[in-house]
C-alpha cells in the first residue's frame, strides 16, 4: 500500500509537469502570434492606420515593432511615426517626448531637422492669447532658433523662420499687455520695465511707437507719484 508521502510526491510531480507544459504552450502561442505579424507587415498596418487617421491603432502597430523587432530596419520608422501619431492626435506632450527620444537615439539621422521642427511645432500650436502664460511661445522660439543654428540650409529651417515672427509678436504683445495692466493699476515703475522690454527685446513687431508713448506717460506719472 502506498504511503501518503508517495501519493504527495506523485501529485507534486504531476502539478510541476502541468506547469511546465502550460508555460511551454503559452510560449509557443506567443512566438506563433509574433511570427504571424512580421515587422514588414506591422509597418504596413501602422502606415495604413496612420493614413486613415486611426492614430491609436497606428501607435499600437508601431509599438509592437519597437518591442518585438528593436533591431529591424523598420524600428526607426516606428519611432518616428509614433511621434507623428501623437502630434496628429494633439497629444503634444507625448509628441515632444517621442521626438526628443528619437533625436537622442539617432542624432545623425537625416530626419533630425524634421524632428526638431516638429518639436517646435508642438509648442507653436499651443501658443495662447497674449493675456496668458507665454511659455509655449518661448519654447517654440527657442526650438526654431536651434533648428536654424544647427541646420541653416535645411528646408525645415526655412519653415521655422516663417513661424518665428509669430512667436516674437506673441511674446512682445504679452509684455505690452502686462505693461498696460501695471500702468492702469498705477504701478508705474513695473510698467516702465515692461515697456522698456518691448523696446529693447522686440523692436520690429509693430509695437515700438505704442511702447514709446506709454513709456513716456509712465515716466511722467512715476515722477508725480509720491514716494511710499
In a domain, 127, yes or no: no
Instruction: Render pLDDT for 148-182 as a digit per residue (tens, 0 to 9).
Output: 999 999 999 999 999 999 999 999 999 999 999 99
Within a domain: 87: yes
Average pLDDT of the residues of the chain: 88
- Residue 227 pLDDT: 66
Residues 188 and 224: beta-carbon distance below 8 Å: no
pLDDT value of residue 217: 94
More confident residue, 119 or 223: 119
Average pLDDT over residues 37-56: 97
What's the confidence (pLDDT) of residue 20?
A: 41
pLDDT at residue 47, rounded to an integer: 98
Q: What is the secondary structure of 177-215 as a DSSP string?
A: HHHHHHHHTT-HHHHHHHHHHHHHH-TTSS-HHHHHHHH
Looking at residues 189-217, what average pLDDT do you find? 93
Please give the average per-residue pLDDT across 1-7, as a whole number. 49
- Identify the pLDDT of residue 225: 76
Residue 197 in any domain: the answer is no
Residue 30: pLDDT above 50? no
Torsions phi, psi for 134 (to 5 deg): -110, 25
pLDDT of residue 34: 46
pLDDT at 37: 87
Give the integer Cα–Cα distance in Å for 5 and 140: 74
Q: What percent of the chain has pLDDT over 90?
A: 79
115 contacts: CB under 8 Å, gap ≥ 6: 80, 83, 99, 102, 103
What does residue 153 show for φ and ψ, rounded to 5 degrees? -95, 0
Tally of domains within the chain: 1
Q: Is the pLDDT of residue 29 over 80?
A: no
- The angle formed by the CA atoms of residues 62, 99 and 75, to the nearest 5 degrees, is 30
Residue 81 lies in a domain: yes
pLDDT band at 222 (very low <50, low <70, confident <90, very high): confident
Q: Is residue 48 part of a domain?
A: yes
Res 150: pLDDT: 98
Q: Please say if the pLDDT value at position 7 is more than 80.
A: no
Rounded to an integer, the average pLDDT of 29-51 is 79
pTM: 0.81
- Residue 31: the pLDDT is 43
Q: Which pLDDT value is given to residue 23? A: 47
Above 80 in pLDDT, residue 110?
Answer: yes
Q: Which domain range does residue 47 map to?
A: 43-91
Tell whether 130 is covered by a domain: no
Per-residue confidence (pLDDT) for residue 216, from 0 to 100:
94
Structural domain includes residue 158: no
Asked if residue 57 is part of any domain, the answer here is: yes
Amino acid at each position: 500500500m502506498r504511503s501518503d508521502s508517495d501519493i504527495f510526491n506523485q501529485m507534486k510531480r504531476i502539478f510541476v509537469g502541468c506547469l511546465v507544459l502550460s508555460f511551454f504552450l503559452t510560449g509557443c502561442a506567443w512566438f506563433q502570434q509574433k511570427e504571424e505579424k512580421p515587422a514588414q507587415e506591422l509597418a504596413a498596418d501602422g502606415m495604413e492606420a496612420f493614413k486613415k487617421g486611426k492614430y491609436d491603432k497606428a501607435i499600437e502597430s508601431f509599438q509592437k515593432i519597437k518591442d518585438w523587432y528593436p533591431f529591424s530596419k523598420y524600428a526607426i520608422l516606428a519611432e518616428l511615426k509614433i511621434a507623428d501619431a501623437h502630434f496628429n492626435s494633439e497629444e503634444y506632450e507625448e509628441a515632444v517626448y517621442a521626438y526628443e527620444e528619437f533625436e537622442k537615439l539617432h542624432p545623425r539621422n537625416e530626419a533630425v531637422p524634421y524632428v526638431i521642427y516638429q518639436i517646435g511645432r508642438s509648442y507653436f500650436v499651443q501658443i495662447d492669447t497674449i493675456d496668458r502664460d507665454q511659455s509655449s511661445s518661448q519654447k517654440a522660439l527657442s526650438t526654431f532658433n536651434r533648428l536654424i543654428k544647427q541646420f541653416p540650409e535645411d528646408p525645415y529651417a526655412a519653415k521655422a523662420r516663417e513661424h518665428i515672427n509669430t512667436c516674437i509678436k506673441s511674446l512682445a504683445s504679452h509684455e505690452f499687455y502686462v505693461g498696460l495692466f501695471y500702468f492702469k493699476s498705477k504701478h508705474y515703475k513695473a510698467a516702465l520695465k515692461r515697456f522698456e522690454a518691448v523696446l529693447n527685446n522686440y523692436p520690429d513687431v509693430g509695437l515700438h511707437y505704442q511702447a514709446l508713448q506709454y513709456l513716456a506717460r509712465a515716466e511722467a506719472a512715476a515722477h508725480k507719484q509720491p514716494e511710499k
